[in-house]
């Protein structure tokens, strides 16, 4: 990773700056113009002071009198240059900000657009924390050098003007400047070279400290229930102390170089005075010119550091930019076809030869089954057998590695962008609610009336508690829905799917946090709603094809067919009765409670016999 100001990093860094300059040409030019004005006027103000000294102050002391014209010219020069300089400074600062923040915002928008565009498989491979810092810290770091950049350009102008001004004044004094200013620049470079790896290290540790705190507070309940506070504190302490040491290391370098960078120009002024005094005795310069050069040194000593600031930010900027770029250039975006699927009728689903892998680990092997339109299929299988993964392929959250998923005979990959969500709704196993109102969470921007929202809530058995919320549908649910209980969140998520009257409805263990009575009511409601399709189908009110991941017999009994999945393969499919008969794994799974009960009863009976 780039942590040092090497020439390679410099080159890359300048390329990054080039990108910003090209993108925001107008702002950058205006900023540079302002900054040049500032640079020029800084030198001019020293010159004005020198002029005033030579033409106003010293004559006045020498002759005991001075013309009003000279006096007011001096005043005008001093105030005038200062006003122009102030305009330059204001312009430089404001425009540098505009430049930096615009670029940051642009990167952030691009990065998040990419997050929304990239397939879920890509998300699976990148930790959440990393993606968040790509959009925040990295986008910030990438464009951080833009803040001091205009000033640095202005400083270059300033140095150039100063060099010319000094040369005109006196070549020998100029020579002092030509020695001192490069020395400051070199010292600055050495400073930034020493500092930047240390600063990057500290930055890295700061991120790690924050990550530990985040994870630890996220898991606070686990830490508490197991009484592991000491262990966690120790973990945090180690990293916090590393951070402390890293910051002290940074402090040592800063502490050494900052005073040196202040002392060097001061020594420069002393040398100027010394040399100047000698030149004065030789009559090569006058006192006004001496004052002018000395004053110039005082004025230049601080801004010249801006060159170092840009350099200092470059390594961080390069790293940030590379990370942002990695997201922007990420391949594997989903390609969409042209096919549109119309009509409100339930959709038929066909899965054939489907395999899926997370990285190298294949978790679905050659899965095939179909769900005729209007039918309900239950996906049953042990924990970790791949059910949730399979349903993700059914709504094209991920594309299969091999095989295909057909909806009404059309491969999902052929369907136009936005086509699938229009007809398929998935209620995932892990409920996710947005920090929005209940209504917003259900409609997700879909144009539906409140009546329809309430109808969906009723079907999900959520109308009762939503009606009791302080502002009903307008109640905000908080970050990830924290203000609701697990079972309530699940029911809102269910309503979100139902309100869409999807042609294919997919439920992934969507009632696990709901108690059996409520679950029974949901299932009854669903059954009635679904039966509409068979009995009195009115246009727009046809039922759905349903795929449901379930363990409970009540849910399974809603299904026309069961697909039994184990370790990523379809072991058997058929009606519940058929599977019960011929598939031992399935039987074992769904009758677990009954068998358990039966065994208990048998044991109890035996015990009673023994007693009797």
Partner 1 sequence: MSVVFQGAERSALATVRRGLSFTPEFRKGLVGTLVLAIVATIGKIIVPIAVQQTIDTGLKSGTPDLPYITRALVLCAAAVVITALCGYVMNVRLYKATESSLATLRVRGFRHVHDLSVLTQNSERRGALVSRVTNDIDQISNFMQWGGLMIIVACGQVLVATGLMFVYSWQLTLLVWICFIPLLVALPRFQRWLSSAYTTVRERTGDMLAAVSESVVGAAVIRAYGSERRTAERIDTAINANRSAQIRAQKIVGMVFPLTEIVAAVAIAGIVLLGVRLGVSGDISAGRLVAFLFLVTLFVSPLQIATEVLNEAQNAVAGWRRVLGVLDTPPDVADPGDEGVELPRGPISVAFEDVHFAYPDGAPVLHELSVAIPPRTRIAVVGETGSGKTTFAKLLTRLMDPVEGRVTVDGHDLRDVRFSSLRERIVMVPQDGFLFDGALADNIRFGKPSATDEEITTALTELGLADWLEGLPYGLATPVGQRGESLSAGERQLVALARAYLADPDLLLLDEATSAVDPATEVRLARALEGVTRGRTAISIAHRLSTAENADEVFVFDAGRLVQRGPHASLVAEPGVYADLHASWISSAHS
Ligand X SMILES: Nc1ncnc2c1ncn2[C@@H]1O[C@H](COP(=O)(O)OP(=O)(O)O)[C@@H](O)[C@H]1O
Binding to partner 1 (CB under 8 A): which residues in 233-252? 233, 236-237, 240-241, 243-244, 247-248, 250-252
CB of 326 to ligand X, least distance (A): 20
373 contacts partner 1 (rule: CB under 8 A): no
9 or 566: CB nearest partner 1: 566
Q: Supply 419's token pair.
A: 């086509």
Residue 216 interacts with, from Mg ion, ligand X, partner 1, none (CB under 5-8 Å by kind): partner 1
Residue with tokens 């059996």, as numbered in its chain: 516
Integer Cα distance of 511 and 576 in angstroms: 20
Which of 32, 205, 294, 300 touches partner 1 (CB under 8 A)?
A: 294
Integer Cα distance of 437 and 458 in angstroms: 17
Residue 263 interacts with, from Mg ion, ligand X, partner 1, none (CB under 5-8 Å by kind): partner 1
Q: Among residues 133, 20, 153, which one has the least CA distance to residue 88?
A: 153
512 contacts Mg ion (rule: CB under 5 A): no
CB of 299 to ligand X, least distance (A): 60
Q: In the complex, which residues of this chain contact ligand X (CB under 6 A)?
A: 124, 358, 363, 381, 383-389, 485
Residue 194 interacts with, from ligand X, Mg ion, partner 1, none (CB under 5-8 Å by kind): none
514 contacts partner 1 (rule: CB under 8 A): yes
Residue 471 interacts with, from partner 1, ligand X, Mg ion, none (CB under 5-8 Å by kind): none
Among the candidate windows 180-188, 241-249, 428-436, 497-505, which touches Mg ion by CB under 5 A? 428-436
CB of 454 to ligand X, least distance (A): 22
Among the candidate windows 10-18, 29-37, 209-217, 424-432, which touches Mg ion by CB under 5 A? 424-432
- Rg of the chain on CA atoms, in Å: 37
Residue 416 interacts with, from partner 1, ligand X, Mg ion, none (CB under 5-8 Å by kind): none
How many chain residues bind partner 1 (CB under 8 A)?
A: 180
- Alpha helix stretches (DSSP H) within 170-226: 171-218, 220-225
Binding residues for partner 1 restricted to 36-55, rule: CB under 8 A = 45, 49, 52-53
319 or 433: CB nearest partner 1: 433
Integer Cα distance of 43 and 166 in angstroms: 10
Number of residues that this document lists for the chain: 612
Binding residues for Mg ion restricted to 41-100, rule: CB under 5 A = none
Other Cβ atoms less than 10 A from the Cβ of 148: the count is 21
Is residue 442 within 8 Å of 476, Cβ to Cβ?
A: no
Q: Among residues 330, 351, 339, 349, which one has the least CA distance to residue 413?
A: 339
**Per-residue mark of binding to partner 1, 105-144 (x: CB under 8 A):** x--xx--xx-xxx--x--xx--xxx-xx--xx--------
CB-based burial label for 127 (10 Å; 0-12, 13-18, 19+): exposed
Is residue 96 within 8 Å of 150, Cβ to Cβ?
A: yes
Q: 3-10 — which CB contacts under 8 Å span 24+ positions? A: 3/196, 3/197, 3/200, 3/201, 3/315, 3/319, 4/193, 4/196, 4/197, 4/315, 5/189, 5/192, 5/193, 5/196, 5/311, 5/312, 5/314, 5/315, 9/314, 9/315, 9/318, 10/311, 10/314
Binding residues for partner 1 restricted to 546-565, rule: CB under 8 A = 551-555, 557
464 contacts partner 1 (rule: CB under 8 A): no
- Alpha helix stretches (DSSP H) within 120-170: 120-124, 128-133, 139-142, 149-169
Which of 112, 322, 388, 437 touches Mg ion (CB under 5 A)?
A: 388
Q: Supply 131's token pair.
A: 């993606």
Q: Phi and psi (nearest 5°) for 154?
A: -60, -35
Helix (H) or strand (E) holding 460: none
CB of 429 to ligand X, least distance (A): 6
CB of 572 to ligand X, least distance (A): 16
Binding residues for partner 1 restricted to 331-370, rule: CB under 8 A = 358, 360-361
Binding residues for partner 1 restricted to 142-201, rule: CB under 8 A = none
509 contacts partner 1 (rule: CB under 8 A): yes
Which of 44, 153, 198, 291 touches partner 1 (CB under 8 A)?
A: 291
CB of 304 to partner 1, least distance (A): 14
Residue 594 interacts with, from Mg ion, partner 1, ligand X, none (CB under 5-8 Å by kind): partner 1
Q: Supply 599's token pair.
A: 């065994």
Is residue 565 within 8 Å of 571, Cβ to Cβ?
A: yes
Query: What are the beta bridge partners of residue 351?
Result: 369, 405
**Per-residue mark of binding to partner 1, 208-237 (x: CB under 8 A):** -xx--xxxxxxxxxxxxxxxxx-xxx--xx
8 or 597: CB nearest partner 1: 597
What are the C-alpha distances in Å from 214 to residues 200, 219, 237, 396?
Answer: 21, 9, 14, 32
Q: Supply 238's token pair.
A: 């180690």
470 contacts partner 1 (rule: CB under 8 A): no
């Amino acid at each position: 990773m780039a942590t040092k100001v090497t020439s390679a990093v410099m080159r890359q860094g300048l390329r990054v700056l080039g990108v910003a300059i090209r993108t925001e040409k107008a702002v950058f030019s205006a900023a540079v113009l302002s900054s040049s004005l500032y640079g020029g006027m800084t030198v001019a103000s020293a010159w004005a002071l020198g002029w005033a000294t030579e033409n106003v102050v010293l004559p006045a002391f020498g002759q005991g009198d001075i013309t009003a014209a000279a006096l007011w010219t001096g005043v005008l020069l001093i105030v005038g240059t200062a006003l122009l300089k102030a305009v330059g400074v204001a312009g430089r600062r404001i425009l540098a900000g505009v430049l930096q923040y615009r670029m940051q915002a642009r990167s952030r928008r691009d990065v998040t657009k990419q997050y929304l565009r990239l397939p879920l498989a890509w998300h699976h491979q990148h930790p959440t924390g990393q993606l968040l810092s790509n959009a925040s810290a990295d986008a910030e770091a990438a464009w951080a050098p833009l803040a001091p950049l205009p000033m640095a350009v202005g400083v270059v102008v300033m140095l150039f003007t100063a060099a010319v001004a000094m040369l005109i004044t006196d070549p020998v004094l100029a020579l002092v400047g030509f020695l001192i200013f490069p020395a400051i620049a070199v010292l600055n470079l050495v400073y930034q070279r020493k500092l930047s790896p240390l600063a990057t290290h500290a930055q890295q540790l700061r991120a790690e400290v924050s990550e530990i705190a985040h994870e630890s507070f996220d898991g606070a309940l686990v830490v508490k229930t197991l009484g592991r506070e000491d262990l966690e504190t120790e973990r945090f302490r180690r990293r916090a102390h590393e951070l402390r040491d890293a910051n002290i290391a940074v402090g040592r370098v800063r502490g050494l170089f900052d005073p040196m960078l202040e002392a060097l120009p001061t020594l420069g002024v002393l040398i100027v005075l010394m040399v100047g005094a000698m030149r004065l005795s030789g009559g090569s310069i006058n006192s006004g010119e001496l004052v002018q050069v000395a004053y110039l040194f005082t004025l230049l000593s601080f801004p010249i550091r801006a060159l170092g600031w840009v350099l200092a930010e470059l390594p961080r900027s390069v790293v940030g930019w590379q990370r942002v770029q990695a997201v922007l250039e990420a391949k594997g975006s989903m390609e969409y076809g042209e096919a549109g699927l119309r009509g409100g009728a339930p959709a038929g689903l066909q899965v054939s030869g489907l395999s899926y892998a997370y990285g190298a680990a294949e978790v679905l092997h050659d899965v095939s089954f179909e769900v005729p339109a209007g039918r309900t299929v239950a996906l049953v299988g042990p924990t970790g057998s791949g059910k949730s993964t399979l349903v993700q392929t059914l709504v094209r959250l991920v594309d299969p590695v091999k095989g295909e998923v057909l909806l009404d005979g059309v491969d999902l990959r052929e369907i136009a962008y936005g086509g699938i969500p229009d007809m398929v709704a998935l209620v995932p196993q892990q409920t996710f609610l947005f920090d929005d109102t209940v209504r917003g969470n259900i409609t997700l921007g879909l144009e539906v009336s409140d009546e329809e929202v309430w109808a969906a809530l009723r079907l999900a058995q959520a109308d009762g508690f939503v009606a009791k919320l302080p502002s009903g549908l307008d109640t905000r649910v908080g970050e990830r829905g924290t203000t609701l209980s697990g079972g309530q969140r699940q029911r809102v998520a269910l309503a979100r799917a139902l309100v869409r009257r999807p042609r294919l409805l997919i439920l992934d263990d969507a009632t696990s946090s709901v108690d059996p009575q409520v679950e029974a009511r949901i299932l009854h409601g669903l059954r009635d709603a679904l039966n509409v399709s068979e009995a009195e189908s009115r246009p727009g009110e046809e039922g759905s094809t349903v795929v449901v991941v379930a363990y409970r017999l009540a849910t399974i009994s809603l299904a026309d067919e069961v697909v039994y999945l184990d370790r990523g393969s379809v072991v058997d499919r058929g009606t519940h009765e058929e599977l019960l008969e011929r598939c031992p794994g399935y039987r074992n799974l769904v009758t677990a409670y009954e068998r358990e009960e039966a065994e208990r009863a048998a044991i109890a009976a035996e015990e009673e016999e023994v007693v009797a």
